[in-house]
Amino acid sequence: MKLAGDIQAFAALIGHEFRQPALLVRALTHSSFASNAGDNQRLEFLGDRVLGLVMAEALLSAAPHAAEGVLAPRYNALVRKETCADVARQIGLGDVLRLGRSEMMTGGRRKEALLGDGMEAVIAAVYLDAGFDAAKALVLRLWGARIAHVEADARDAKTALQEWAQARGMAPPAYVEVARDGPDHAPVFTIEARLASGEAARAQASSKRAAEQAAAGAVLTRVQG
């Protein structure tokens, strides 16, 4: 099977020459795309597990004396869907996703869930094509900087802000949706994070979760500054 030019360029970008190119095509095929080759749902399931094992090994190697309670949040930060989607954006995976018309019309190439699933499916495709060592090399190459700085990213901003408030006997922060702008397929949410003490900050993002995290981070910067 010969890969289309854009998919062939993507394979070169991630640094893996597929002996079974059909695996990569399937990994990039969303369920909305009509194809006899199948979609990437099963590969996403497998890739999630491969990614988890690679990250568990990498963390144990990087911090041989760290307790499980220290490793767990670092692990979660590295394998969560948002991180997978960020890596996917870094390598332009959205540009080569094979999507049905409905997903194309609603901004599917930018959707976090589709990007994250696609990234995990690509990992599985490399695993099935060339084995665990090849998949591990791919993950470590793409996640390298994130692994090196995971300690700072392990506690997300909402968790850190809640812990800050609780340590001072305050109620948990509140998150209020102030506005929603843009078309339905590409909304922009404005969220305000509020502390009982009156400190507050707003942030915008394409998902409520991301906007809440950004707003929490802004409040943290204020109260800790």
The residues annotated as belonging to the active site are: 48, 120
Q: Which residue has the tokens 């942030």?
A: 203
Sheet (strand 174-181) strand order: 174-181, 188-194, 200-205
For residue 126, which of 113, 109, 140, 112 has the smallest C-alpha distance? 140
The angle, 0 to 180 degrees and rounded to 10, between the axes of the packed helices 81-90 and 68-79 is 50
Rounded Cα–Cα distance for residues 79 and 151 (Å): 14
